[in-house]
Each structure stands twice: as structure tokens, then as C-alpha cells.
Amino acid sequence: MLRTKFVPVALDQWYQRRQKDAEGEFYRKIAGQGPRNDFKGTTQGLYAAAPDGTFLGYNNNRGPERVRKLLRKALDAFRPADAPPIEAGPADPQYAHVPPEGGLVVDVTAKVLGGYPEPKDWHERIFQVALQRDHLWVRKDEHEALARGKIPESLRVRIARFHLVDGTRGEPPMWKREEIRRLDLALAEGRLSGSVHLETESGDRGFEADLLGFVEAKDGRVTRLDLVAKGLFWGEGRYTKGAPPGKFPLAVRFALASGKDAADRIPPEGGRGWHADYIR
Amino acid sequence: MSHPFSGESHQYNAPVRWLAGLALFLVPEGLSVTEFERLHRDLAPPAVETWRTIPWKTSLLEAREVAAREKKPLFLWAMDGHPLACT
């Protein structure tokens, strides 16, 4: 039904509810007709709307039956009508981030490898086996350094602070610079190796991991950037409740994005609201 | 059979010290290449996932333009964190 009867769009509404541009205005027009219409807080959920912005339904329950009901109801209510074009205009520069020119986009996935108790229901099981997805952005100068066989400090720190996280159950807290207790990650003869110790001041959250990976380059371009971090993680964040008790095994995987997927241009989670800090 | 400790000082005798050193040498520190390869394979997103077969757009304005042209309603999956790439 979604493929044929609708035009589906996936968004991180954190951006759209803030954006001062045509995209943000159109999003707020739709979401403002739903129950979550205070744009100071989250408006997350599933919405159906006509191209002119007429509201056709909302639901924040992702159960298959509830979603089907929302879709059917929206189709019943939909009356095709002309929708005047919207002039896109310039995108709000505070929120419109694109992959760095001449840089790299790296797919990042993470998974908890064990330690969970038996799940109480199917919903909990989904979170326990979930694969976290994100992207690492590499600047042009960092890309060039990698192609020469060097890994810049800025990239090592970005990997540690923003990508060695447990976001398998929701949006994870990132690491502050001072929470990097140890970061040894060296590139020698195409081999990335090292270890990391990240821990909050109180010690309530941490990650101690070993890293191993491989970098290959041809004609000044990186053609392979594969990396794995594996170790013991402990603790959870405000939006990642339900972590396994105590220390549990977590692995994080990095691989160059193909560039063919629409998702490849989605900004890194760690840069949301802190893009300058993320990419510096 | 001789005890591995050499008398009152409780120092390891030479063969035990030699074996301990060999063990440290043989057990690689950190991730092995085999473990790296297994995890890199296991954590790759599945090649086929039903939810990824849906032609999601990532620009609301672009989706609106297509919807207006094709006379279809929009479906917005609007989350905290991008549904396709963050969590």
C-alpha cells in the first residue's frame, strides 16, 4: 500500500520542526494539525497528508495493525486536488548539512552481542537484536591524509566521541572530549589498530574496546575503509533505556558507503545541533 | 612432580616463566583478523529488508512535488533520529 498508493518520506523531525525555510514551514503546516503541535518538543510519529498540506491522520504507534488502519483511513479521506507548487528557496543553513565535498561517507552500524535477559514481548526483542545505523563523515583533508596512510587526530576523536556509542535502542548520548580516557588508534601499512577507553566522570557509562581495520587507497582516493570496534559497554542514556545489566559486549562496524542509497546523504546523528563540533 | 613454585620465595621456576612468556606472545592482543572479518560480515545491514524496499524519500518538498504530480497522499515517517540512518 505504501509503495503504490502513497509517496513515502522519512524524516528526522528534529530538523524540520526547527528549519526556517520552505521545507520546515510545510512540515509544521502538517504536524501543526496533529496532536503534537508544540514545536518546542518532539512531534515524532506517522503522518498522512495531502500534497496541499491537508491533514489526513496521525499515529505514533508502529504496530502493523495500527499503521494499516492509519493508511486506510487516510486513503478514504484523501480527495485529489491541485496543490500549487512551493518555491523551495534557500535551505536554512543552520540545519542543511551535506556530506563534505571531497570527503568520505562511511556507513556505521552497531549491535549489542549479548547480555540481555529474556525479552518480555516482541517489541522488546526487536530492540535487543536491533542494528544501529549511522554515518561517519570524513573531511576532504582527512580523506587525503588517509590516502597517504595517516589518520588525523580530528578523525580519531570524531570516531571515538560520536560513533563508539550504543544507539541500538534509541538516540545515544555522545562522549564529551574529556570522557576519552584513552584513545590509541594508529594506521600503519594499511592496518588500523588500537584500543579505546571512554567513560563518564561518574563512571555510570563507559566503553572499553579494541579496534582493527584496513584502509586501501588508489590514485589519492580511499577505496576501502573497514573498521571494527569490539569491547565491553556499560550504562545507558536518557533515550537508550533497557541496556543489559552490567558490562555487555558491543561491536561497531565501519565501511565506506556505496553512495547509491538515498540514506547515504543523511547527516550523522552526532552532528545534530552540534555540526561544527562534530566536523571540526 | 615438582611444584611450580621454587621454595619459600614463591617465585615461578624457569620453565613456568618461559611458558607464561610464550603464552603472552601467542595470544594476540586486541581483535584478531578472523574476529574482525566475522564481525564486519555479521554487522553488515542485510541485503534485503522489507522496510528498505519502500522508496522512501528524504526531502519533504521533493516528496510533495511527486505527490502533487501523481495525485497521491504523503506518508511521513517522522522520528527523533532519522529512521533510515540514525538508530
pLDDT digits (tens, 9 = 90+) for A118-160: 999 988 898 999 999 999 999 999 999 999 999 999 999 999 9
Of A54 and B18, the structure prediction assigns the larger pLDDT to: A54
* For residues B35-63, average pLDDT: 93
CA quadruple A145, A211, A106, B59: dihedral sign: negative
Which of B35, B60, B66, B80 would you mutate first to test chain A, the one with the most A CBs within 10 A?
B60
Counted residue by residue, chain A has a size of: 280
Q: Which residue has the cell 549489542?
A: A112
| pLDDT tens string A188-240 | 999 999 999 999 999 999 999 999 999 999 999 999 999 999 999 999 999 99
Q: Are A10 and B84 in contact (CB under 8 A)?
A: yes
Query: A198 with A240, same domain?
Result: yes
Give contacts of A212 with chain B, Cβ < 8 Å.
Answer: 30-33, 35-36
Residue A87 lies in a domain: no
Confidence check: pLDDT of A37 > 50: yes
- Whether the pLDDT of residue B5 is over 50: the answer is no
The answer to the question of residue A44 being in a domain is: yes
Among the residue ranges A31-40, A58-67, A257-266, B21-30, the one predicted with the least confidence is B21-30
Domain count, chain A: 2
Mark whether A118 and A226 lie in a shared domain: yes
User: Same domain for A168 and A263?
Assistant: yes
User: Is there a single domain that holds both residue A55 and residue A174?
Assistant: no
Nearest CA in chain A to B50: A3
* Residue A24 located in a structural domain: yes
* pLDDT exceeds cutoff 60 at B25: no
Looking at the complex, does the CB of residue B48 fall below 8 Å from at least one CB of chain A?
Answer: no
Same-domain status, A182 and A264: yes
Give the three-class secondary structure for A141: helix
Q: Check residue A62 and give its pLDDT.
A: 81
C-alpha distance from B24 to closest chain A C-alpha (Å):
17
Q: What is the DSSP string of A36-99?
A: ---TTS---EEEEE-TT--EEEEE----HHHHHHHHHHHHHH---------------TTT---P
Sign of CA dihedral A119, A122, A127, A132: positive
Are B67 and A107 inside 8 Å of each other by CB?
A: no
Residues A123 and A73 in one domain: no
CB pairs under 8 A between A and B: 222
Model confidence pTM above 0.80: yes
Query: How confident is residue B15, by pLDDT bands cut at 50, 70 and 90?
Result: low
Q: Do residue A10 and residue B29 have CB atoms under 8 angstroms apart?
A: no
Residues in A closer than 8 angstroms to B56, CB to CB, are 8-10, 262
Nearest by CB: A8 against B33, B39, B75: B75
Candidates A272, A214, A268, A273; CA nearest to A104 is: A268
Can you give the residue range of the structural domain that contains A264? 104-279
Specify whether the CB–CB gap between A198 and A181 falls below 8 A. yes
A122 and A68 in a single domain? The answer is no
Per residue in A88-128, pLDDT (tens digit) is 899 999 998 999 999 999 999 999 999 999 999 988 898 99
Residues A149 and A198 in one domain: yes
Name the band, by pLDDT with cuts 50, 70 and 90, for residue B86. Answer: low
Are A131 and A243 members of one domain? yes
Q: Look at residue B4 in the predicted model and tell me its pLDDT.
A: 39
Q: Nearest-CA residue of chain A relative to B36? A: A228
Q: What's chain A's average pLDDT?
A: 95
Q: Is residue A83 part of a domain?
A: no
Among the partner residues A7, A43, A107, nearest to B72 by beta-carbon distance:
A7
Select from B37, B61, B65, B66 the residue whose CB has the most chain A CBs within 10 Å, as the one to mutate to test that interface: B61
Chain B within 8 Å of A213 (Cβ-Cβ)? yes
pLDDT at A63: 84
